[in-house]
Amino acid sequence: MYRLMADVLNDSAFILDVLSPIFPKPIRIVILSFSSILRSLCGVAAGSSKASLSAHFARWGNLGELNAKDSSQETVISLMGMLAGSLVISWITTPLATWTALIGLLSVHLETNRRAVRAVKMRTLNRQRATLVFHHLQRQQTVPSIKEISSVEHIFEWDGVLRTSTRDIMGYCDIGTPFLRLLEAVSESQTSTKASHIQQQTLSQILSLYNSSRYILWHDRRSTKDVPRFNIILKKGAEPKDLLIAWWQALFHAQDDSAAGQDGFEEKLAALERSLSRAKEFFERYEKSLREKGWDVDNGALETASSTRVVFGES
């Protein structure tokens, strides 16, 4: 996703550079500044995605060798591009020729990079692939191959979205949220004083439900009946497989028709207890088969940002 996004940002910057001369000087400065911002964003996206892709291809610990070959290839392609540009520039003498060459070359560039991104078949389970694997397991009770999931995976996807097997949105889920989100969700606000009150028994029941788990899944305060939202609070020692179980629990819970529209605390707790049990059993049943199919369940691709960890002390 971010590899192709970097190319889109970089090509957009090229278009702004070519457009800038037709504007007055004050506006031109703004356009060129925005172009520089796009190039900076491109550098961040390209660098991070390159590191992830390099780690994906370096399966035998040859990351240094792979990066050296990639840098040499980039140098050769850049020199060839400069040579080709020197030949083409002599033919471009009108604005129409300029725009025709620019749009044509950018189209070829984006299409070739789109195909290159589609050709990569990642073994890690990010949120989209974890969702696709989940629905495949539910439908066919067999672990899909990496190629099967890659063929239906979308390049661009909203972060944290929970989808049905038909790609419809059924909710949202955030991973690694602060413990404060849970306190806000279970607290009762007083209209007059704006103060919040938390029932100790309510919090104790939630913590007791996830006593043997390395995470806590609960409804977000913004959650509605039509679009449920969940927060996953990670405990200290949470591993990638715990995140996968948590994500699958969110999918189970969002699918649960009996959980939809329930406002009572006891009903929510019972529904989450059912989804937790199903998610754990689901993972235990297919964990070995996932590994045999080549899926890397020990990679923390589900965690897309720096997350907090909660430590509970014993009283």
HEC sequence for 4-23: HHHHHHHHHHHHHHHHHHHC
Mean pLDDT across the stretch 41-66?
Answer: 72
What confidence score (pLDDT) does residue 286 get? 93
Q: Please report which helix (H) or strand (E) contains residue 230, including its range.
A: strand 229-234
pLDDT of residue 193: 46
Average pLDDT, the chain: 84
CB 19 within 8 A of CB 31: yes
SS3 assignment for 142-174 = CCCCHHHHHHHCCCCCCCCEEECCCCCEEEEEE
| DSSP class of 310 | B
- Predicted pLDDT of residue 162: 93
Radius of gyration of the chain (CA): 25
In the block, tokens 């529209």 appear at 261
Would the pLDDT of 148 be above 60?
yes
- pLDDT range class, residue 315, cuts 50, 70, 90: very low
What is the rounded CA–CA span in Å between residue 284 and residue 296? 15
Sequence-distant (≥ 6) Cβ neighbours of residue 57 within 8 angstroms: 66
Higher pLDDT, 315 or 280: 280
Q: What is the pLDDT of residue 191?
A: 44
- Res. 190: pLDDT tops 50: no
Residue 23 has pLDDT above 90, yes or no: no
Amino acid identity, residue 222? R
Cβ within 8 Å of residue 124, ≥6 positions away: 56, 296, 299, 301
Output helix, strand, coil percentages for the chain, rounded to the nearest 5. Answer: 60, 10, 30
pLDDT exceeds cutoff 90 at 173:
yes
The strands making up 215-219's β-sheet, listed across from edge to edge, are 161-163, 169-175, 229-234, 215-219
Tokens 């500044």, residue located: 33
Cα–Cα distance measured from residue 106 to residue 79, given in angstroms and rounded to the nearest whole number: 18
Give pLDDT, residue 60: 66
Q: What is the pLDDT of residue 61?
A: 66
pLDDT reading at 192 higher than 80: no
| Greater model confidence, 315 or 219 | 219
Among candidates 143, 111, 140, which has minimal Cα distance to 125? 143
pLDDT digits (tens, 9 = 90+) for 111-136: 988 888 888 888 888 899 999 999 99
Backbone angles phi, psi at 193, to 5 degrees: -100, -10
Structure confidence by residue, pLDDT tens digits, 271-294: 899 999 999 999 999 999 999 998
User: Please, which pLDDT band fits residue 263 given cuts at 50, 70 and 90?
Assistant: low
